[in-house]
């Protein structure tokens, strides 16, 4: 169903599509009605079960936060599960720069969610939650199976073999499963890319992965997200805040970050292979991945394994900028 059919189905007659913003998990249509009001139609992408999962999670997350009196979240106007979409009131803002004010807002959001969790509020586990190193290993195994099944290319097999070798290297250094004891209700996909700045007020958007998670996973994913460009000073402020307001300590990242780096390598690889398949008529060669973020996550893994405990925790982008 194209956009015109969708707007007609929703009853938005004589409306104007101003722009379409394409993302990794959804497309957002900015729609203007005759009276000048603006709406965002978020259309989830992927297989049917994935669309249903993301839509339901976003609905439940926003309703949960609304009941907890969060004001800096999107307002739902309407939703259609049969069409795989939610209609939001358009937020007239811009993605903030990764500066101190933005970081302060992220810290405040994390602490508010931490307090809600410790007060006894209950929410489902985050979509990609992990409460031990074994669970991260299981996620890596599942991503490997998916990649080899959907992209049976030689480059996929070679890259997966590289990942498997790194896992064996990891297990030689950390041969015991680590349980992550401290938990938090997490935005999950946290960063300026999922925030909007409106007159010095920060909104948080995109809650399709929201839920209970370990602080290890939340902090690790934040450090490793390829769209997080905070400088090291702001990263240290984030970690200090999380640590001082929980029983979690930074040392717990030592056996966690290397595995998460491999996990992110596969996440980025899957997206790269998907885009290549859509835009090319030939198989991707392994040389196309040299210098890619997928490969840089492998290099980051090597850096962590070889001596993370002697280094300050670098974000992925901080590390990638240094090695490039």
Residue range 35-45: mean pLDDT, rounded: 95
Task: Determine the average pLDDT of the residues in 59-77.
Answer: 96
Closest by Cα among 311, 142, 140 to 236: 311
Residue 187, classed as helix, strand or coil, is coil
pLDDT band at 66 (very low <50, low <70, confident <90, very high): very high
In terms of DSSP bridges, do strands 85-89 and 76-80 run parallel, antiparallel, or are they unpaired?
Answer: antiparallel
Alpha-carbon Rg for the chain in angstroms = 20
Confidence of residue 323 (pLDDT cuts 50, 70, 90): low
Q: What is the DSSP letter of 2?
A: -
The pLDDT mean for the chain works out to 92
Residue 41 banded pLDDT, cuts 50, 70, 90? very high
Q: Per-residue pLDDT averaged across 294-301, rounded?
A: 94
pLDDT tens string 255-264: 999 999 999 9
* pLDDT tier, 319 (very low <50, low <70, confident <90, very high otherwise): confident
The 10s digit of each residue's pLDDT in 88-101 is 999 999 999 999 99
pLDDT score at 309: 52
Asked if the model's pLDDT at residue 270 lies above 80, the reply is yes
What's the predicted TM-score (pTM) here? 0.92
What percent of the chain clears pLDDT 90, i.e. is strictly above it?
77
- Residues of the chain within CATH 3.30.200.20 domain(s) are 3-89
CATH 3.90.1200.10 segments of the chain: 100-323
Yes or no: say if 226 and 316 are a contact pair by the CB < 8 Å rule. yes
Pull the structure tokens for residue 61. Answer: 């997350």
Q: Is the pLDDT of residue 324 over 60?
A: no
On whether the 3-89 domain is CATH 3.40.50.2020, my answer is: no
For residues 79-113, one letter each, b for 16 or more C-beta atoms within 10 angstroms of the residue's C-beta and e for the rest, the string is: beeebbbbbbebbeeeebebeeebbebbbebbbbb
Closest CA relative to residue 123, chosen from 207, 246, 40: 207
Topology, domain 100-323: Aminoglycoside 3'-phosphotransferase; Chain: A, domain 2 (3.90.1200)
> Token pair for residue 99?
């500066």
pLDDT of residue 75: 97
């Amino acid at each position: 169903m194209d956009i015109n059919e969708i707007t007609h189905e929703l009853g938005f007659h004589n409306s104007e599509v101003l722009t379409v913003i394409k993302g990794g998990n959804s497309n957002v249509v900015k729609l203007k009605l005759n009276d000048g009001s603006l709406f965002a139609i978020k259309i989830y992408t992927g297989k049917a079960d994935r669309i249903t999962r993301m839509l339901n999670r976003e609905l439940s997350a926003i309703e949960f936060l609304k009941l907890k009196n969060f004001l800096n979240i999107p307002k739902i106007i309407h939703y259609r599960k049969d069409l795989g979409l939610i209609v939001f009131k358009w937020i007239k803002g811009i993605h903030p720069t990764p500066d101190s004010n933005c970081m302060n807002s992220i810290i405040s959001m994390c602490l508010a969610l931490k307090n809600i969790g410790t007060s006894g509020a209950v929410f489902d586990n985050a979509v990609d939650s992990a409460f031990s190193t074994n669970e991260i290993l299981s996620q890596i195994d599942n991503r490997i199976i998916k990649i080899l099944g959907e992209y049976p290319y030689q480059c996929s097999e070679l890259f997966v073999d590289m990942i498997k070798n790194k896992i064996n290297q990891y297990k030689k250094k950390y041969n015991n499963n680590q349980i992550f004891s401290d938990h938090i209700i997490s935005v999950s996909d946290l960063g300026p890319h999922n925030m909007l700045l409106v007159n010095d007020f920060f909104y948080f958007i995109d809650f399709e992965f929201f839920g209970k998670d370990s602080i290890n996973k939340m902090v690790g994913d934040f450090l490793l997200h390829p769209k997080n460009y905070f400088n090291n000073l702001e990263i240290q402020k984030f970690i200090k805040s999380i640590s001082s307001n929980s029983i979690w300590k930074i040392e717990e990242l030592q056996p966690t970050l290397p595995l998460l780096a491999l996990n992110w390598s596969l996440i980025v690889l899957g997206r790269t292979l998907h885009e290549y398949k859509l835009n090319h008529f030939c198989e991707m060669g392994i040389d196309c991945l040299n210098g890619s973020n997928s490969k840089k996550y492998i290099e980051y893994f090597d850096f962590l394994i070889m001596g993370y405990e002697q280094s300050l925790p670098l974000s992925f982008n901080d590390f990638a900028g240094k090695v490039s």
